[in-house]
Amino acid sequence: MSMVSLPGLSEMINVISRERNLPKHAVEAALQEALLKGYERYRRTQRLDGAHFDEDYFINFDVELDVEEEGFRVLATKTIVDAVDNPDHQIALNEVQEVAAEAQLGDTVVLDVTPEQGDFGRMAAIQTKQVLAQKLRDQQRKLVQEEFQDLEGTVLQARVLRFERRSVIMAVTSTFGQPEVEAELPKREQLPNDNYRANATFKVYLKRVAEGPQRGPQLIVSRADAGLVVYLFANEVPEIEDEVVRIVAVAREANPPSRLVGPRTKIAVDTLERDVDPVGACIGARGSRIQAVVNELRGEKIDVIRWSPDPATYISNSLSPARVDEVRLANPDERQAHVLVAEDQLSLAIGKEGQNVRLAARLTGWKIDIKDTAKYDYEAENRKIEQMQYYTQTTEADDSEYDEPLEDVASELTLDETTEVAQSNPA
């Protein structure tokens, strides 16, 4: 079999593998693809046999590297036919039977179609070099994709490299030994109190691993995601790691709508152990545990509150540090609550620019209306609540008139359709 010589092939593969931190087999695969593209370029310039080369014309061609002999061969898989229409894709049966008597029509054979050493010209070599560079980049992106796709939703250590527009480009550690796998920290995922100077290190939350050959970092990381807070607490509180204490909900406002307020997080915790204080476990002795989290988040305010299955208790706890007099569930169906506080607790309950009550609402999933206890008109509010309850009951009663017809229709529907009707028309 003929071969195109590539002096220094083995050393070239070793150098590329070392410099780009790629496995040798990945470099070889990239080189094979590049050489095949170079062969295509050679054939297109030759226009041999007057062939028309469309996009898939060379799909049956392949390149075989010989690292020991330092060269490569071009192989073509051809179908055995009676009469040849395309010599690149077909071969006559009588030609094959001269060397393989058992060959039959429709079989395929692999043939050496390697060009002469001098025929693989300058243009083909340039094409090979360009494609090789692209294929090596693709291999690196593929390895990053394979490594980090299972790490989405985890926290990584990152170092600031540079700035691109409003984004910070960071380097994260790779188990492949690549010192600088780049990640993008978009503006919306940054913290206002962070100082992103060159080589500064941060813990970041891996939000997404981008797919495809697009340019730019594949990894999208965040300092503003609630997942980072969860990780930091789990790292500082052994009871969370041991599942004695669980984080039930997190509400975070890392980039408040107003510059007058800073970042703040509320976190609800719970435990099934009677002798464990989940809030105390997260705060730690003399506040040591929560202070470690606050330090990592550059001074972000954090409220740790006790979760409760009782909505009124949970809502009351969520408004910490304000003291709540009473929580009235004005409309449980719409998850609306009135929270009564003393006059001197109003501003604390609402928070600067409404941040405290806004986070409490996100944490609990309830619409919270803060009221001054002294000015709360129980009679008027009770009438409103009663009217709302009456309206709800009346609506439900009206809906029940349609139960019989729906049941008749449901008997003719499939199980999935019946389920949809039943869910959209509760009794």
The full set of domain ranges for the chain reads 4-142, 152-222, 310-376, 381-424
Please state which CATH class domain 152-222 belongs to. Answer: mainly beta
In the chain, what is the straight-line distance between the N-terminal and C-terminal CA atoms, in Å?
Answer: 81
Neighbours of 151 (CB within 10 A): 14
Task: Report yes or no: 269 and 368 within 8 Å, Cβ to Cβ.
Answer: no
Taking alpha carbons only, the member of 393, 369, 396, 395 closest to residue 381 is 369
Please identify every stretch of the chain with a pLDDT value under 70, giving residue numbers as ranges: 1, 47-52, 119, 121-124, 174-180, 212-217, 386-427
List of residues 6+ apart from 121 with CB closer than 8 A = 42, 45
In one letter, which amino acid is 395? T
Tell me if the pTM is above 0.75: no
Q: Is the peptide bond before 321 cis (omega within 30 degrees of 0)?
A: yes
- Give the per-residue pLDDT at 411: 40
Structure tokens at 111: 């043939």
Res 309: pLDDT: 96
Give the torsion through C-alpha atoms of 311, 315, 316, 317, to 10 deg. Answer: 100
Q: Give the three-state DSSP class for 334.
A: helix
Identify the residue whose tokens are 């340019």.
Answer: 215
At 351 the three-state DSSP class reads coil
Q: How many CB atoms lie within 10 A of CB 222?
A: 22
Q: For residues 368 and 190, what is the distance between their CA atoms, to the nearest angstrom?
A: 29
Which tokens belong to 145?
């994709």
Q: Which CATH number is associated with domain 310-376?
A: 3.30.300.20
CB 240 within 8 A of CB 192: no
* CB burial string 355-367: b at 16+ within 10 A, e below: bbbbbbbbbbebe
Dist CA 110 CA 164 (whole Å): 50
Domain 4-142 has what CATH class? alpha beta
Q: Cα–Cα distance between 24 and 11 in angstroms, integer? A: 11
In angstroms, the CA 149 to CA 218 distance is: 10
